[in-house]
Structure 1
Amino acid sequence: MKAQFLEHLAISRDYTLNVADAMPEDAYEFSPAPGVWSFRELMHHIAYGILWWRDNYILQQETAWAPTPVKGNKAQIRQELEAAYASLEDTVSAGGNIHNGFHATLDHISHHRGQATISLRIQGIVPPEYNF
């Protein structure tokens, strides 16, 4: 079962990073409408959310929702995503009761990654193909 979780996680990571890479650096501040997160904010939210969902729903460690400020260029946001995915991968690899929150965590990522692909399309960018 752990191998299947890790496989699904790798697919999610690769696709999320491909989506993040597809948006040009100069469009990372793009927001599709007033009051809607920019692409940079959305990618940061995905990274922060991975850690928050991991803590609260996989590790069962109650953690307050307290996102860090959004900062950094495209490369730094990508590193933030990579670090969050690596942390989740380490948690899954360690085993334990990962069933409680793993799929909910991936669902949260998919929800916001879908928003990111819409931002790509609005910018005239065809999103990367989803490989599963």
Structure 2
Amino acid sequence: MKAQLLSTLENARQYTMNVASAMPADNYAFKPDTATWSFNDLLHHIGYGITWCNDNYILQQPADWNPPTVTKDAATTQEYLSKSFDILQKSIENVDTDEKVIHGFYATLDHITHHRGQATTYLRCQGITPPEYTY
């Protein structure tokens, strides 16, 4: 089961990072509407969501929702996002994959998928064809 979770996580990481790198760095401030996050904010939220879910659902160590200051540029945001995936990967490698962990893992993936879908819409709003989905 652990191997399957890690494989699924790697697919999510690769596709998410491909979406992140598809947006030109100078467009990371783009917002399709004033009421939405910027592309940068959205990716930062995905990264923080991964670490928050990791604490609460994988490590089962309750943590308040307290996001750090949003990263300010494409390179820093992509690095933050990648490190968030690293943290989750390390946790999956080191915990027993009981039913709670498995449910938490898939809840985390659901959150990533939800916001990554928004990010692909941001790309389309900029006339960019999103990377092909891989599974």
Q: Mark yes or no: TM-score above 0.5.
A: yes
Match of 1:15? 15
What secondary structure, in the 3-state scheme, does the structure 2 residue paired with 1:101 have? helix
Superposed structure 1 runs of 4+ greater than 2 Å apart: none
Equivalent pairs: percent with the same residue?
51
Match of 2:125? 122
Q: What is the CA distance between 1:58 and its match in structure 2?
A: 1.4
Match of 1:26? 26
Match of 2:103? 100
1:19-98 → structure 2 map (5 Å cutoff): 19-96=19-96, 97=98, 98=101
Q: Which whole-Å CA distance do the structure 2 matches of 1:100 and 1:113 have between them? A: 20
Match of 1:3? 3
Q: Which whole-Å CA distance do the structure 2 matches of 1:80 and 1:35 have between them? A: 24
Structure 1 range deviating more: 57-66 or 120-129: 57-66
Q: Which whole-Å CA distance do the structure 2 matches of 1:73 and 1:28 have between them? A: 7
Structure 2, unpaired ranges of 5+? none
Q: Which whole-Å CA distance do the structure 2 matches of 1:100 and 1:131 have between them? A: 22
Cα RMSD of the aligned pairs, angstroms, is 0.8
Is the 1:12–1:106 Cα contact (8 Å) retained in structure 2?
Answer: yes
Q: What is the CA distance between 1:100 and its match in structure 2?
A: 3.2
Aligned residues: 132
Structure 1 range deviating more: 63-72 or 9-18: 63-72
AA in 2 matched with 1:25: A
Is the 1:31–1:38 Cα contact (8 Å) retained in structure 2?
Answer: yes
Q: What is the CA distance between 1:69 and its match in structure 2?
A: 1.3
Cα deviations across residues 6-47 of structure 1 (Å, max 9, x unaligned)? 000000000000000000011100011112000000000000
